[in-house]
Structure 1
């Protein structure tokens, strides 16, 4: 019996090579935009949720200090004295800045939910575009985001309720220690083991949702829950294949993670060292660090240097992330297509014959509540040759 996880290692390598090369500035710049929002091939099953570390007690004081609606009075006073603006103006500017940052964070979350669909579209058509696929897959990304939030809430809610009940039932430290001592050491280890299993299952569920259900949503043009229902028979029938996939992927991620850490660390060290040397020159030109910080021109120069350093770090890290993200996404698509030809999305390799047909996708998210009937043209008809040679944000229907 062939093991898809092993066969797909080489298939994904060939797919990645055909996808990224020959090198094109326009193609790689568009990929950099996509991968920037994806986060780029991190080692692990999935990074989908940040569980809050503290929640308010019902009917009591919150466990953490509630966020203020604006800058603190001391900060307002200090900024007012430093800038010469009135405290009211400083407060208004602070609130406006918080609003802008919140809006940017919201837009980033939305973009990060849509970009996985855009990236899969790029791999399946071998045509890297941003604007057209983003508009087409926007509602699928929103639905997947809402699905992630809902599942995370259902996962977190029992723990929050259990902690709240435990705190209310044992309001003081002595009662809490007495409660824990009733479990015994073996009981606490058993409880920890159960929690670990639950967290692993949650990670697997969300990981498979990102790695396999998103491609199924594209292949079948259906919603998240419907795609899970269609993917579940394949997962259940080929469970041994997917267990091997998890093991092989773990080994691959471990090796790739070590390699990228070394290469990325060397490149980052070069950038930081160069920035430090330039910083010393800037500080020396102003007569020392205190003089530079005390001068408006010195502060501006240091801020510009910091921004350029961050951009340089981004410039050296994104190509590595593009390579890693392309390979692992191609690997996931190869395994999925091997497990069920209906979900095959990777374009056929030269001499492989016709495969990866996406003829099942006849519209843009038209069913499953993603919107009305689609009027978009087939992605496969886009001119990938032109898109490889220049930087364009154009829609698939208007090849650049």
Structure 2
């Protein structure tokens, strides 16, 4: 029964293609895919949300704002502008590399600059689409927040049962809304991107085509999402274990050096900690990305194979075994 669903039958094929591409080990191939993983989200970097304390802790009267001064405000605006610009550049590169990665795997030539310029236009469209979806989601959250919290913002104590219940319902609703957002992200990355390449079209046109492809095959789509979710959990566990082992191995010499300096030379301060921590992090980040390479490669092969089985028109991967990759 499971063989009738491509989400099951294409797992072994994706594993074989991943092994053929990555083994025997070649630094050039692994390094380039690791760089792709860094930008398309394989690196697992998160941006922590800001937290705000109670107004009473700032020494300001409720409703008042600190007098930052025009100079300080200007500096803050410049910093915010630079951060936003760097974030946009980062996201743009990541969007373009989504297409470049598909080009690499479908051709067997792992060369990042070969199609980067050619895919830049599609990368911009994908970036704008993702930003638009994100803004819509934030707008929905803002509207829901007003609907939920305006009725209880009448001086009701924070510990009141009504406030607690409202917060829990709001959080639950946000979690429910994250499901369609995640589905949009999955189908955009896994299927819309290769359709854009094959049809040389924009995001909306590609989405229409993806919907047309999966509408009669909706069971295949449901099973694919469920199987990928399970595979994602399994991969996350394996990745965590592998990274943890690598971190421990890398950390051993740094711990030894720290203990020696602390006991023999009586050196133990923040500066020494930073001197040990900085090279440790510099080593751990690329090692982590290299460990992620097989996982990132497998999942991209996996989605391409499922898409090719559902629609022969979008079978971008060659039928025969891939030749030795170009480095």
On whether the aligned pair clears a TM of 0.5, the verdict is yes
Are 2:310 and 1:331 equivalent residues in the alignment?
no
Q: Within 1, Cα distance between the matches of 2:34 and 2:238?
A: 20
- Greater relative CO (CA pairs within 8 A, separation 6+): 2
Find out whether 1:340 has 2:279 as its counterpart.
no
TM-score if structure 2 supplies the norm length? 0.80
Match of 2:36 among 29, 34, 37: 34
Deviations 1:107-143 (A, max 9, x none): 2222222221111111111101112322221221121
Q: Is the 1:5–1:241 contact (alpha carbons within 8 Å) kept by the matching residues of 2? A: yes
97 and 130 in structure 1: CA distance in 2 versus 1, 3 angstrom threshold: same
Range with greater deviation from structure 2 (23-32 or 118-127): 23-32
Per the alignment, residue 57 of structure 2 pairs with: none
2:212 pairs with 230, 233, 244, which one?
233
What is the Cα deviation at residue 36 of structure 1? 1.6
Question: Do structure 1's residue 268 and structure 2's residue 256 form an aligned pair?
Answer: no
Q: How many residues align?
A: 316
| Closer, same or farther: CA 69–8 of 1 in aligned 2, 3 Å | farther
Larger Rg: 1
Structure 1 residues 160 and 179, CA, compared in 2 at 3 Å: closer, same or farther?
A: farther
Q: CA deviation at 1:197?
A: 3.4
* Alpha-carbon shift at residue 147 of structure 1 (Å): 0.6
Aligned to 1:25: 27
Q: Deviations over 1:54-110 (max 9, x none)?
A: 9xxxxxx989989998889xxxxxxxxxxxxxxxxxx98x99887765554332222
Matches within 5 A, 1:85-96: none
Spell out the pairing of 1:171-210 with structure 2 (5 A cutoff). Answer: 171-174=153-156, 180=162, 195-210=174-189
Does the CA contact (< 8 Å) of 1:333 and 1:346 recur in 2? yes
1:13 Cα shift? 0.8
State how far apart, in whole Å, the 2-side matches of 1:231 and 1:12 are: 21
Q: Which residue of 2 aligns with 1:8?
A: 10
Look up the SS of the partner of 1:237 in the other structure.
coil
1:315 aligns with 2:320: no
- Contact 2:198–2:314 (CA under 8 A) maintained in structure 1: yes
DSSP-derived class of the 2:114 partner: helix
1:387 corresponds to which residue?
A: 326
Aligned to 2:55: none
Where structure 2 has 5 or more consecutive residues not aligned to the other structure, the ranges are 53-61
Determine if contact 1:49/1:152 at 8 Å carries over to the other structure.
no
**1:350 partner SS:** coil
Contact 2:304 2:316 in 1 (8 A): yes
CA spacing shift, 1:148–1:106, aligned 2, 3 Å = closer
The match for 1:378 is none
